[in-house]
Amino acid sequence: MKKLYRSRNDARLSGVLGGLGEYFEVDPTLIRLAYVIFTLATGFLPGIVGYFLAILIIPKEPLVVPSSSAAAAAPPAVPG
């Protein structure tokens, strides 16, 4: 199942719009442009309040830690 996260890779402020772009598989620049147009058209307040609510509600993308099994599969280097 696909989950919505705030992006760590494509973040300008907090990653909300980058995360939406990744989730919907759309260029985040288009999401940002639509957000700016929406915010300007509605008089700033709904867009800004919605953005800050999204920061509070949408979790940050988890860090991907390389698995130790890949390192364990490689034989240790033998000096000499």
In a domain, 25, yes or no: yes
In a domain, 29, yes or no: yes
What is the separation of C-alpha 8 from the centre of its chain, rounded to a whole number of angstroms?
5
Confidence of residue 2 (pLDDT cuts 50, 70, 90): confident
Residues 6+ apart with CB under 8 A from 17: 28, 31, 32, 35
Confidence of residue 62 (pLDDT cuts 50, 70, 90): confident
What are the tens digits of pLDDT across the range 32-53?
999 999 999 998 899 999 999 9
Total domain count for the chain?
Answer: 1
**pLDDT beyond 90 at 67:** no
Residues of the domain holding 29: 16-60
Cross-strand bridge partners of residue 60: 6
**Distance between CA atoms of residues 17 and 40, nearest Å:** 16
Using DSSP's 3-state secondary structure scheme, residue 4 falls into coil
In a domain, 75, yes or no: no
| Side chain identity, residue 7 | S
**pLDDT beyond 90 at 66:** no
- Rounded to two decimals, what is the model's pTM? 0.71
